[in-house]
Structure 1
Amino acid sequence: MPRILAIDYGLKRTGIAVTDQLQIIASGLTTVASETVLDFLSDYFTKEKVGQVIIGEPRQMNNEASQSAAMIDAFVVRFQNKFPDMPVVRVDERFTSKLAFQSMIDGGLNKKQRQNKALIDEIAATIMLQDYLSRKMI
């Protein structure tokens, strides 16, 4: 069974998470510089079978698009142009960064470790993917 990959795209960094081959568990893969993410994904797709990509859709509390939505929408267009056969699912990414930070606290990471924004992005992608998997199984 192919993996599902999640992307938490940001202005500077992009967090990436991926499922196991049975699509049961989401795990953080890495964080890459946003300007290199398409090259990273191209390399990853040649090494691993990925059947679907989840990309966060930033929303405000009133369900309107957030300020970063246009930037992420432009990334989605570039992604789909580069990988036209890869199915893309957009998912609500509200609170994933806050949940990621809280999970770092709950996990016992010290203040210096919690300042690692790359780790926050990777955990946010993992949370987004695990939430998607949970909803998919219902």
Structure 2
Amino acid sequence: MSRILAIDYGIKRTGIAVTDELQIIASGLTTVASDTAISFLKDYFSKENVAKVLIGEPKQMNGTASESTPIIEKFVKEFVTNFPEIPVVRVDERFTSKMAFQTMIDSGLKKKQRQNKGLVDEIAATILLQDYLTRKMI
């Protein structure tokens, strides 16, 4: 089978998570500088079979677009241009960063480790992906 990849795109950093080949378990893959995300993905897709990509869709509490929406929309267009054969699914990413930070606290990471914003982004992408997998199974 093939993998599903999730992207938590941000202005500076992009968290990336991926499933196993059976699409059962979501795991953090890495965090990359956002300006290198497309080149990282080109390299990754040349090595791994990815069936679909989830990209976080930032929204306000009332469901309207957030201030970072134009930046992420630009990335989505660039992604589709570079990888037209890979389906993109937009996923609501509200609360994923807060959930990621809470996960870090709950897992006992020290304060210094919790300040690693790259790790927060990677965990947020993993939460996006695990939530998608859970909903898919229902």
What band does the TM-score fall into relative to the shorter chain? over 0.9
Paired with 1:133 and 1:70, the residues of 2 have a C-alpha distance of 27
TM norm structure 1: 0.99
Q: Which residue of 2 aligns with 1:45?
A: 45
| Identity fraction in percent | 73
Q: Which residue of 1 aligns with 2:106?
A: 106
Paired with 1:51 and 1:25, the residues of 2 have a C-alpha distance of 15
Q: Which residue of 1 aligns with 2:4?
A: 4
TM norm structure 2: 0.99
Q: Which residue of 2 aligns with 1:121?
A: 121
Q: Which residue of 1 aligns with 2:31?
A: 31
Structure 2 segments unaligned to the other structure (5+ residues): none
Displacement after TM superposition at 1:102 (Å):
0.1
Paired with 2:74 and 2:65, the residues of 1 have a C-alpha distance of 14
- SS of match in other structure, 1:112: helix
**Amino acid in structure 2 at the alignment position of 1:101:** F
Q: Which residue of 1 aligns with 2:79?
A: 79
1:91 aligns with 2:97: no
**Amino acid in structure 2 at the alignment position of 1:107:** S
Structure 1 segments unaligned to the other structure (5+ residues): none
**Amino acid in structure 1 at the alignment position of 2:62:** N
Aligned residues: 138
**Amino acid in structure 2 at the alignment position of 1:39:** S
Two-structure CA RMSD over aligned residues (Å): 0.3
Paired with 1:48 and 1:84, the residues of 2 have a C-alpha distance of 16
- SS of match in other structure, 2:67: coil
Large movers: runs of 4+ above 4 Å: none
Paired with 2:132 and 2:59, the residues of 1 have a C-alpha distance of 16
**Amino acid in structure 1 at the alignment position of 2:73:** D
Displacement after TM superposition at 1:92 (Å):
0.2
Displacement after TM superposition at 1:133 (Å):
0.4
